[in-house]
Structure 1
Amino acid sequence: MRTPRPGRTLAVPLRLVLAVTLLAATVLTGTAAAATAPRPAADGCYTWQRDLAEGATGEDVRQLQVRVAGYPAPGEVIAMDGDFGPATKAAVVRFQKAYGLTAGGKADGPTYEKIYALQDDDCSPAHFTFSELNDCNSDWSGGAVSAAQAKSSALRTMWKLEALRHALGDKPITVTSGFRSKACNDQVGGAPSSRHLYGDAADLGAGPHSLCTLAKAARDRGFHGILGPGYPGHDDHTHLDHRASRFWSAPTCGIG
C-alpha cells in the first residue's frame, strides 16, 4: 500500500465508506432487536406477560398452576392459590423435564410456548375436551357447586389427565364419566356425595392401558381420590378426583 506524504490523507473509496456504514447500522439494528425481542405470540386462551419464579403472586401464577397441576410431588396436590411457592416451582421443574425443556423452575418463554402448543383456545388441553368431562348437560348447572366452579374444576382435571397421558407414552385415555348434575347423578345411581357433582372427577375406561396402570400412574398426577378395581362398584373403571384429603383404594391393583 502506498504511504501518504506528510500532511496528506489517503483517499478512501466511497463504496467502502458506504459498506462500513451499512454494516454498522445492521449490527446496531440487530442488537436493538435482540434486546427488545417480543415474547411468544399471544395465545387464544391466555397469554403470560412476564416470567414467573418463586415468590411471584397473582392470577398469572394461578393460571400456571392449573397447567402444571399434573406434575406435583408424588401423592401431593398443588394449590390453585396464585402463590408461586416451592411446590409450584417443583411442579414447573417436572413439567419442564417432561417436555425436554431447561428445568430451572422458572416459567419463561419456552415454558409458555410449550403450554400454548398444548392448549386449545378454550383453555382445554390438546387431548381432552370439555364435552368429554360433561356427559350430563351443556351449561354445567345443577351440581353441588356453581356452574362456573364445576367447569373450572373440570379444566383442572383435564390438565392432570393430560399429564397422565403424557407420562404413559401419549397413548389415548378414555373418559367415561365426568361432571354430573344431581339429576344425572341420581339417574346413574351415583353416591349422594359423589365428586362428580363438583366437576372435579373423571372415570376412566380401559384401553391402551389397564385400569390398574391408570390407577397407579395417577398417584403422581395430583389426584387425592383414586378408586379402582377391587373397590366396590369400580371393577370396570378407574375413578379420579381431587377431593380435600387423600383416599386411594384399588385393592386389585395393590393400592389402598
Structure 2
Amino acid sequence: MEVSVIRRFGRFLAALALTAATTVVGVTFTAGAAHADGCYTWGRTLSEGMSGEDVRQLQIRVSGYPGYGAVLALDGVYGPGTRSAVIRFQQAYGLGADGIAGPQTFNQIYALQDDDCTPVSFSYAEWNRCNSDWSGGAVSASTARFNARVSMWKLQAMRRALGNVPLYISSGFRSYACNSAVGGASNSRHLYGDGVDLVGSPSLCRLAQQARYHGFSNILGPGYPGHNDHTHLGNTPSRSWSAPTCGI
C-alpha cells in the first residue's frame, strides 16, 4: 500500500481504539488524549466562547458546514456560527451532535486529512497544474496555497453531502500568465487560489445547487456566459451566484 494509505489506516485504527476506551471506561478525555496527527493535533476540547489558533484550525476543517448561503469566518473565535458548523459536521459523520469539538470530532478530522493538511479526497497537485511554486497570482504563493486548502475542505464537505461521490477538478489555481492563456476573467478567483472548476458527474447543475450549502460565495454554472461546460466555485467578498439554467 502507499504510505498515505497506511497512514490513514493507522489513524482510523487509533480513532477506533480511542472510541472504545472512552466507551468502556466511561471517562471523558480531553482532546490531548487523541493520537498525534501529522498535520495538526488539538490539545483541548473546544466549545462556544473559546478562542485561539486551535479554534481557527477547527474552523478551516468545518468551513464547508456553515449552512445555506453562509460563509464561516476563520477568525479563531468559537461563536454561534462555528458551533452550528461543528454540529453539521458531527451530524454528517454520525457523531454526537452537541456542537462541542472533543476527541471524537478531532479523530474524525484526523481520519479525513493528509499530513500536508489537505483533505484526503483532494490534493495540491490536482489543484495547481499551472506552476508548482504557486507564484504569479493575485496574492502571495503562501496565501494562494492556504486559500486552496480552505476550498478543498469545503469540497470535502460537499462531496460527503453528495454521497461521497468523486468530484472532478478541471482547473484550480492560476497565475496571471496561465489565466490569460485560457481566457480567464481578469478578476478570476483562480488567481487567488480558492477558485475551482468542476466537470463530469454529478451534473453541473447538481454541483452548483449543492455548493450553496458549503460556504462558496462565488458559484457560476450553466446559463452563465462561458460556464455551460463546467461549474465554477470560489470565495468572493460578497455573494456572486449565477447559474440560470439551474435556477440559481
Sort the TM-score into its range (normalised by shorter chain). Answer: 0.7 to 0.9
Q: Which residue of 2 aligns with 1:106?
A: 100
Tell whether 2:211 aligns with 1:221.
Answer: no
Q: 1:145 aligns with which of 118, 139, 143?
A: 139
> Letter of the aligned partner of 1:110 in structure 2?
Q
TM-score (norm 2): 0.88
1:133-172 aligned at under 5 Å gives the runs 133-172=127-166
How many residues of Structure 1 are paired with residues of Structure 2 in the alignment? Answer: 224
Aligned-partner SS, 2:131? coil
Partners of 1:234 and 1:59 lie apart in 2 by 38
1:44 paired residue number? 38
Counterpart among 181, 184, 197 of residue 187 in structure 1: 181
What is the DSSP-based 3-state SS (H/G/I as helix, E as strand, rest coil) of the residue aligned with 2:224? coil
Amino acid at match of 1:129: S
> Which of residues 126, 129, 135 in structure 1 aligns to 2:123?
129
SS in structure 1 of the partner of residue 170 of structure 2 = strand
Is residue 212 from structure 1 mapped to residue 205 from structure 2 by the alignment?
Answer: yes
Task: Tell me whether 1:59 sits opposite 2:53 in the alignment.
Answer: yes
User: What's the CA shift for 1:242?
Assistant: 1.1
| Separation (CA, whole Å) in 1 of partners of 2:64 and 2:246 | 21
The letter of the residue matching 2:186 is P
Deviations 1:201-233 (A, max 9, x none): 1100022x0000000000000000000000000
What corresponds to 2:113 in structure 1? 119
Secondary structure in structure 1 of the residue aligned to 2:81: helix
Tell me how far 1:35 sits from its aligned partner.
7.8
Paired amino acid for 1:177? S
Residue 231 to residue 50, structure 1, CA distance change in 2 (3 Å): same
Unmatched runs of 5 consecutive residues or more in structure 2: 1-23
Is the CA contact 2:128–2:172 (under 8 Å) kept in the aligned structure 1?
yes
TM-superposed deviation, 1:234:
0.2
Match of 1:238 among 228, 231, 237: 231
- Counterpart in 2 of 1:90? 84
Q: Quote the Cα distance in structure 2 between the aligned partners of 1:67 and 1:132.
A: 19
* TM-score (ref. length: structure 1): 0.85
Post-superposition CA distance 1:9-66 (Å, at most 9, x none)? xxxxxxxxxxxxxxxxxxxxx98x9587861110000000001101111111110000
Match of 2:73 in 1: 79
Which has the larger Rg? 1
Q: Give the share of equivalent positions with the same residue, in percent.
A: 61
Deviation at 1:90, TM superposition (A): 0.3
RMSD over equivalenced CA pairs, Å: 1.6
Q: Alpha-carbon deviations, 1:154-199, whole Å to 9, x = none? A: 0000000000100000010001100100111111111111110000
Post-superposition Cα deviations, 1:87-120, rounded to whole Å, max 9, x if no partner, equal 0000000000000000000100000000000000
Do 2:208 and 2:220's aligned partners in 1 also have CA atoms closer than 8 Å?
yes
